[in-house]
Amino acid sequence: MGNIFDYVYFRIARYFFKRDGYEASTATHVITLIVFMFLLGISLITSDSILKLRNSNVKLPFWIKLIMFAIIFVIQYFVDKRYKGKYEEYAERWGDEKDSVKFFKGILVLIFISTPFVFIYGFKWILEKNTL
């Protein structure tokens, strides 16, 4: 199937093609969100400082929010650069899939998109459960 991000991009771009056209801005935004959420999930799991903050009601400082916002813009820049003009190439590669294959891969796309959210909320649930 190639790169899973490429396939997710193609499927989302195809779904929103009438609205976005070949630019596929919705697809690039979703890829950016997925990458950011994966990075956030990995950083939460590997961070010792988050374990120290679990019992406190500390809000994130403004500079951390600003850094996160900047990271999102950097990711978006590279995602836009990677996928600019790629819709037609991916349409040639995956455009004529059988319905059964498309359905199966569509389920995999949904699982892939939801994975970072499961990591983050699962990690939060584990932390809350361990504080009781």
Give every CB contact of residue 38 below 8 A, 6+ residues apart in sequence: 115, 116, 119
pLDDT band at 1 (very low <50, low <70, confident <90, very high): very low
The token pair that represents 35 in the structure block: 């990458």
pLDDT in tens, 20-39: 888 899 999 999 999 998 88
pLDDT band at 56 (very low <50, low <70, confident <90, very high): low
Q: CA-CA distances (angstroms) from residue 34 to 65, 92, 93, 120?
A: 18, 24, 23, 12
Integer Cα distance of 65 and 12 in angstroms: 28
User: What sign does the CA torsion over 84, 85, 86, 90 have?
Assistant: positive
Q: Which residue has the higher pLDDT, 53 or 69?
A: 69
The domain locations on the chain are 4-131
For every residue of 74-127, DSSP letters joined together read HHHHHHHHHHTT-HHHHHHHHTT--HHHHHHHHHHHHHHHHHHHHHHHHHHHHH
Predicted pLDDT of residue 3: 87
Give every CB contact of residue 55 below 8 A, 6+ residues apart in sequence: 131
pLDDT band at 61 (very low <50, low <70, confident <90, very high): confident
